[in-house]
Chain A
């Protein structure tokens, strides 16, 4: 079951499915939109930036809409995966690699060399691509555009346009339509418009996407962010409190009731992009056991890193003296260690039997975090933590995890590693939600008795690289920490075997010796063992 790419077995024409003339026109329209942006990037000075920006964005959106309507509305409702593994772009062919390189380069420039995109430095006006977006930024918040504004607009456009495409693709499936509508709404409203309007209301507030929750939002408890909140009065304090409630109260409740999908495939922006613009690449995620092993190491390492880092950041700006503020370094570190210990003890007490061998790994992880925190506490000075300047530590985290992992690799490599490689291998938020989903949640994918025919459509379409079939063909429910509940496995199943549902915790995990439909005497089986 390797993901090795062979070109199509076809002798004559590997791309058996040609696109229609209308689709060619649609591609041309979209290309014109991108071309305008490319011109802007190379510093073409458009006379009326507002007009050209509108043209560019309109052409991109219009092109995607036209293409999708032609692709799906002329056919009967149903699964539309014909030729996915034949098309160069979605099967790691030449087009896929080109797109991967282009996206990756864009991310590198965006994160590390924004001046090449035309960002004005030292008070100069923006030029180039960023300059092209000035009119829209002025319209929304009255300030000049930044590279992050450009990125935000393109990101939102991608989710909206490809979200429309996805809704048409699954026009027989209400679950897919609703959750896509949901990510489109949260991206447009919460990630894009509300922060702009909040800036208009109070321009001291730090940028805050309400739905971006720590530890995905790794900077929310940084000094500048917390100071920003505290200095802006009640609204700032309310936002900060909301940030704390999000991770410690709202998240556990919703995850218990619905699984991590409430966030990962209904709300989250990273998930939103993956599910819409990234949908064509979902089949590229590796289902190998070795990939799963790597995933478990990597994502939990990032989680440990991000917890320790956040604690270190907060720690670095807390004082020693009780008189200044009740939350001193001593109090804070004790609180954190206390909380981690309570969680660890509760899991070990209630769930040790379910964890099996993983309990040992959990204990090691816990010990590492506590040891790191204690080392930090007893070796830290006013400006040095782990013998490194605390600022350096944070920027290292921001660089390696925030930029390179989530952006450059996470999105830039969509056409190579699949659309969820960040969510699967790196996102610390996904790790926390997944941990809870595996142990304390009503969510599971139910397997329908003995109906599985091992065809593999489910595994093939799992963007998180879960070998869904391995469970389904044994008649076992799928309870996996990584499952984001996108529901595509259930949609593509030709035999009606899989259903995402929230039910009782009892009987959620159901290993069986023999599948339903075979009337063997189970007592005979057991007595013989």
Chain B
């Protein structure tokens, strides 16, 4: 019986294992050094906030794995011997495989800041980070202030986490507006205001110079690059993005760039070795996507596809229309298709922007300047239907069609106020004045 070893028990590896089991009788082993069981990484924040307990982040009950004959091995892989098809563990033991899948995800970026390895300095990615945060920031008496460095999705989540325990947060963002490398200005600025409404000390265009230690090797303060200001704090969150977690295969002969290099079939340069999820790097970007996509959904989709290949139905990784979502404190965000920020959009992409008077809801619709083709939508505070936008993108609808049919895409709970009429009016007026 063929033995499939999967390194990493995140969404990619677990989806892969489930689909292999659905379609075959192969022997499957999932290896993880982080936790015994699969859990939803995106839910770690809710454990710290007390919405859930850690076990609630585990989507499958403990008996699930044995029942589906998926072996779980706890341990860190130290080295991969691709000739003998053997994994060597840090703990000293080994494991033979027939096919190997690398699904080790990411690790938080560190950019060589002085003091970045002090006690009380942490990312927010692994379960161990959560335990570390619980140790250093159990409440506002132990942690008088926390400083978060890096204005992305994990940064704002970490700010929300700490705020939930009434710990004052200073949020250092390199850009001149929150996440404006990705979000168009109108949205980014609305989120700036929302962050401040939550009494989070948002510092835009601000860089970290160094993290200062106290006499016990614990963080005491941070110093700001631009002003030299020293901010006393007990915890520093480093949330300036993530990078593939692949140090253990550097000498294995597997071809790597920033991530594990794979082709469209998710195969590496070595036969019978594959990579999926956050740690995989496409030789060439697919469409507008980045070669490395550290996103929940893409990890899951790669798992779905690779399972087919491994079960003998060789299949290319062909992600459909781009979509994503997030939540910024109280404001939900969804995106379908491509909406680029002013910084990165191409010359033919133009935007229609509507914002509600209460400053917590807005949408931005991107379309082609010449053809009027609908390119994508960002929506804040209004839920929209994935399947409707997916269909409209496939059908290559134009802007007018989308604006006139927006009601069909609404996914807000029943009895919610509807804004499609107002949005359409704004759109029509704008066309007349333009």
Q: A residues bordering B, Cβ < 8 Å? A: 1-6, 8-13, 16-17, 76-79, 81-87, 172-175, 178, 283, 288-289, 446, 448-451, 453-457, 459-460, 469-470, 473, 487, 490-492, 494-496, 499-501, 514-521, 524-525, 528
Contacts and interface: CB of A to CB of B under 8 A. Distances in A.
Given A1-B55, A1-B61, A11 B135 contact: yes
Contacts, number: 202
Interface string B45-80: 010011111011111111000000000000000000
Interface stretch (B101-109, B238-246, B315-323, B349-357): B315-323
A521 B332 CA distance: 31
Given A10-B134, A78-B329, A175-B414, A455 B141 contact: no
Interface of B: 11, 40, 42-43, 46, 49-53, 55-62, 131, 134-135, 138-139, 141-142, 164-166, 197-198, 296-297, 300-301, 304-305, 308, 312-313, 315, 318-321, 323, 325-327, 329-330, 332, 334, 383-387, 390, 411-417
Contacts of B301: 450, 515, 517-518
Nearest to A490: B413
Contact of A518 (B61, B138, B166, B320): B320
B304 A459 contact: no
A516 B321 CA distance: 9
Contacts of B52: 85, 283, 456-457, 460
Contact of A9 (B51, B134, B166): B134
Interface centre among A175, A460, A469, A496 (most CB of B within 10 A): A496
B40 A454 contact: yes
A495 B413 contact: no
Contacts of B61: 1-2, 288-289
Q: Top 7 closest A-B pairs, CB basis?
A: A449-B386, A78-B330, A496-B383, A455-B43, A519-B320, A83-B50, A174-B415
Contact of B51 (A82, A516, A519, A520): A82
Main secondary structure of the interface of A (DSSP, over half): loop
B176 to A, nearest CB: 24
A13 B141 contact: yes
B59 A499 contact: no
Nearest to B303: A518
A88 B360 CA distance: 34
A6 B57 contact: no
Given A1-B61, A10-B138, A175 B416 contact: yes
Given A84-B51, A289-B61, A450-B297, A456 B40 contact: yes
17 contacts: A1-B55, A2-B55, A16-B165, A78-B330, A82-B164, A448-B411, A449-B387, A456-B57, A487-B413, A487-B414, A496-B334, A496-B384, A496-B411, A515-B301, A517-B319, A518-B305, A528-B313
Given A499-B383, A518-B320, A519-B319, A1 B141 contact: no
A517 B386 contact: yes
A456 B61 CA distance: 13
Given A448-B411, A518-B320, A519-B319, A17 B325 contact: no
Contacts of A174: 413-417
Contacts of A496: 325, 332, 334, 383-384, 411
A76 B304 CA distance: 40
B40 A455 contact: yes
A86 to B, nearest CB: 4
Nearest to A288: B61
Interface centre among A3, A82, A86 (most CB of B within 10 A): A82
A449 B334 CA distance: 12
Contact of A178 (B46, B53, B165, B415): B415
A455 B313 CA distance: 31
Nearest to A472: B59
A10 to B, nearest CB: 4
Contact of A454 (B59, B62, B330): B59
A495 B384 CA distance: 10
A315 B51 CA distance: 52
A459 B315 contact: no
A495 B308 contact: no
Interface centre among A6, A10, A500 (most CB of B within 10 A): A10
Contacts of B297: 450-451, 517
Interface centre among B60, B197, B415 (most CB of A within 10 A): B415
Given A460-B52, A460-B56, A175 B385 contact: no
Given A1-B60, A520-B304, A12 B138 contact: yes
A86 B323 CA distance: 35
Contact of B320 (A1, A446, A517): A517
Contacts of A448: 383, 385-387, 411
A3 B54 CA distance: 10
A449 B323 contact: yes
Contacts of A457: 43, 46, 51-52
A470 B141 CA distance: 39
Interface centre among B51, B296, B318, B323 (most CB of A within 10 A): B51
Nearest to B49: A82
Given A81-B51, A449-B323, A520-B315, A495 B332 contact: yes
A487 B413 CA distance: 8
A12 B139 contact: yes
B56 A456 contact: yes
Nearest to A455: B43
Contacts of A84: 50-51
A81 B46 CA distance: 9
Contacts of B332: 494-496
B413 A500 contact: yes
Given A456-B52, A473-B59, 10 more contacts: A82-B50, A85-B53, A283-B52, A491-B413, A499-B383, A499-B413, A515-B300, A516-B386, A517-B321, A521-B315
Contacts of A456: 40, 43, 46, 52, 56-59
Contacts of B319: 517-519
Contacts of B198: 76
A4 B164 contact: no
Nearest to B51: A81
A470 B59 CA distance: 7
A499 B318 contact: no
A293 to B, nearest CB: 12
A173 B300 CA distance: 31
A172 to B, nearest CB: 8
A77 B327 contact: no
A182 B59 CA distance: 34
Nearest to B157: A494
Nearest to A87: B50
B56 A1 contact: yes
Interface centre among A76, A77, A79 (most CB of B within 10 A): A76
A79 B327 CA distance: 12
Contact of A453 (B50, B165, B296): B296
B350 to A, nearest CB: 26
A82 B167 CA distance: 13
A514 B59 CA distance: 18
Contacts of B383: 448, 496, 499
B139 A13 contact: yes
A454 B11 contact: yes
A85 B134 CA distance: 15
